[in-house]
Structure 1
């Protein structure tokens, strides 16, 4: 949802105008540090909302702007549960990053054995 929200904001702000293509899934993966399946789910959300259209082998194209709330453009506050899960995910990512660094170091030290 976070990726869909950011892309929705990019479209609303004019970063990606109606008729323009979105970056490739590979570029979006790089930008968001997410798996391809996660990017695909975010794009599916935007397709369901009628904001983009896409077909296999063809880049996603912006077809409409997100609807704005009458109360303003501020996004809704995330739920407490979402915030808790998001923070836990960030901790897990940091632990994985640290473990990868340790494994890379170990691999480097044992390469010539």
Structure 2
């Protein structure tokens, strides 16, 4: 479950999945649960889950296979340090842009 700590939910999810990979709960070559399953598990939106999985892709821990899912890489090297500040800022900006678009859409419907 994503906690309201001030830390973005996608980073919390990425941290948890990373720990599951490092700890062996998600074995090398194993599929990740679907985006919908992860969203339900963490109480987060699909877009937040997708951003979290994107971080793990950038770190080289998981790989997507079109039409099959996302899998823990067989040759997954230990994850590098958490995403650098610029990547984190970009992801946060994308999330804020999506939220702003929803708010603007709701406001325009009220007019």
Same fold by TM-score, threshold 0.5 exceeded?
Answer: yes
The reply to whether residue 62 of structure 1 matches residue 48 of structure 2 is no
1:38 is aligned to 2:48: yes
CA pair 22-2 structure 1, distance change in 2 beyond 3 A: same
Provide the C-alpha distance between the structure 1 equivalents of 2:24 and 2:77, rounded to a whole number of angstroms: 9
TM-score, normalised with respect to structure 1:
0.56
CA pair 68-56 structure 1, distance change in 2 beyond 3 A: closer
Shift of 1:66: 3.3
Runs of 4+ in structure 1 off by over 6 angstroms are none
Which residue of 1 is the match for residue 16 of structure 2? Answer: 6
Deviations 1:2-35 (Å, cap 9, x if unpaired)? Answer: 1000000010110111111010111101110000
Instruction: Show structure 1 runs of 5+ residues with no match.
Output: 70-74, 76-113
Alignment CA distance shift 1:56-1:36 (3 Å)? farther
User: Unaligned regions of 5+ residues in structure 2, if any?
Assistant: 1-10, 83-111
